[in-house]
């Protein structure tokens, strides 16, 4: 997506911060946030800073696609550190009782469950 500009037509779109959209819709709390945006996960999560800082997100499901994430300008370790810094534990959905601190390899695609610790 991010590195394929020469292969697909591009179209400009307006984007908005998740904090702003959720406030406009009067969403007080998010029980489950699913994010699968082909590498743009850091962009989405950074746009939810107020909801993170106020503890208004309980659980997240993220698809981490390492190659797509790098194409979007982030790295898997950066994403994991960001999620941990917001007070979440991270586990592979295939092994939810085992905390995940690193991805198995540099080119993996993994779905993770992130739960607020307190």
Within-domain flag for 43: yes
Give residue 46's pLDDT: 96
**DSSP code at position 8:** S
From edge to edge, which strands make up the β-sheet containing 30-35? 30-35, 57-65, 109-116, 88-92
9-22: per-residue pLDDT in tens? 888 889 899 999 99
Give residue 5's pLDDT: 55
Give residue 97's pLDDT: 87
| Total tally of structural domains belonging to the chain | 1
Within-domain flag for 13: no
Within-domain flag for 83: yes
Within-domain flag for 54: yes
Within-domain flag for 11: no
Instruction: Report the percentage of the chain scoring pLDDT > 70.
Output: 95
Convert 67-99 to b/e letters by CB count within 10 Å (16 or more is b).
Answer: ebbbbbebebeebbebbbebebebebeeeeeee
Within-domain flag for 47: yes
The residue-averaged pLDDT of 88-115 equals 90
Chain position carrying tokens 């997506």: 1
Within-domain flag for 15: no
Give residue 96's pLDDT: 86
Query: How far is the C-alpha of 47 from the C-alpha of 86, rounded, in Å?
Result: 13
Domain limits for position 89: 30-116
pTM (2 d.p.): 0.86
Give residue 88's pLDDT: 97
Within-domain flag for 20: no
**Within 13 A of 71's CA, how many CA atoms are on the CB side?**
15
50-92: per-residue pLDDT in tens? 999 999 999 999 999 999 999 999 999 999 999 999 999 999 9
């Amino acid at each position: 997506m991010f590195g394929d500009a020469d292969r697909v037509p591009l179209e400009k779109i307006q984007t908005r911060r998740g904090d702003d959209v959720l406030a406009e819709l009067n969403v007080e709390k998010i029980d489950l946030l699913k994010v699968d945006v082909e590498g743009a996960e850091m962009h989405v999560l950074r746009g939810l800073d107020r909801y993170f800082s106020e503890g208004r997100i309980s659980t997240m499901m993220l698809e981490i696609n390492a190659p797509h994430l790098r194409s979007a300008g982030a790295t898997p370790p950066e994403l994991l550190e960001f999620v941990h810094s917001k007070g979440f534990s991270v586990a592979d959905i295939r092994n939810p009782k085992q905390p995940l601190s690193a991805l198995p390899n540099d080119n993996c695609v993994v779905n993770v469950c992130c739960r607020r610790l307190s």
